[in-house]
A and B are shown apart, each in its own frame.
Chain A
Amino acid sequence: MTLQQTPRPDLHQRADEYVGHQHPAYALGRRPLRVTGLTRLTDRILHVELADPEGRPLAGYQPGSHVVVDAGEGRRNAYSLTGDGVNPRRYGISVLRLDDGSGGSAWLHDHLTLGGDLDVEGPRSMFPAVHDQQHALLVAGGVGVTPILSHARAIARAGGSATVLYSYRPGHEAHLDDLRALCSDRIHLVEATTVEETGTALAALLASQPFGTHAYACGPAPMLDAYERAAAVAGWPVGRVHLERFVAPELDPGDPFTATVASTGLAVEVPSGVSLLDGLLAAGVPVNYLCKQGVCGECRLPVRTATALEHRDFVLTAEEKAAAAHIMACVSRGRDVEIDL
Chain B
Amino acid sequence: MSTVAEEIPPQVPSLPAWPAAPEPVDETGTSFLVLAVGSHPETARVAGEWVAHAEALAPTTLGTLDAIDAAEDRVTFEALLGRARTGVRVMVVGGQYDVLQTLSLLRRRGALEAELRAFVTDDREIPVYCAHCQTTFRAATAPGGEATCPACERRLEVHEHLAVLLGSFLASDAEATTL
Contacts and interface: CB of A to CB of B under 8 A. Distances in A.
Interface of A: 1-3, 130, 132-134, 206-214, 232-240
Contacts of A232: 28
Nearest to B6: A1
Interface residues of B, number: 24
A233 B30 CA distance: 8
A235 B28 contact: yes
B81 interface: yes
Given A134-B109, A211-B110, A235 B29 contact: yes
A78 B149 CA distance: 56
A207, A236, A238: which has the most chain B beta carbons within 10 Å?
A236
B114 A239 contact: yes
A207 B82 CA distance: 15
B11 to A, nearest CB: 15
A3 B6 contact: yes
A212 B88 CA distance: 10
Interface of B: 4-7, 28-31, 58, 81-82, 84-89, 108-112, 114-115
Residues of B contacting A: mostly: loop
B43 to A, nearest CB: 23
A236 B87 contact: yes
B110 A207 contact: no
Contacts of A207: 30, 85, 87
Contacts of B5: 1
B22 to A, nearest CB: 20
Given A2-B7, A207-B87, A235-B29, 18 more contacts: A1-B5, A133-B110, A209-B85, A210-B82, A211-B84, A211-B85, A211-B110, A211-B111, A212-B110, A214-B110, A232-B28, A235-B30, A235-B58, A236-B86, A237-B115, A238-B114, A239-B112, A240-B112
A3 to B, nearest CB: 7
B23 to A, nearest CB: 15
A1 B179 CA distance: 13
Contact of B85 (A132, A208, A237, A238): A208
Contacts of B31: 235
Nearest to A208: B85
Pairs of residues from A and B, 5 with the lowest C-beta to C-beta distance, nearest first:
A212-B110, A235-B87, A235-B30, A237-B114, A211-B84
Contacts of B114: 237-239
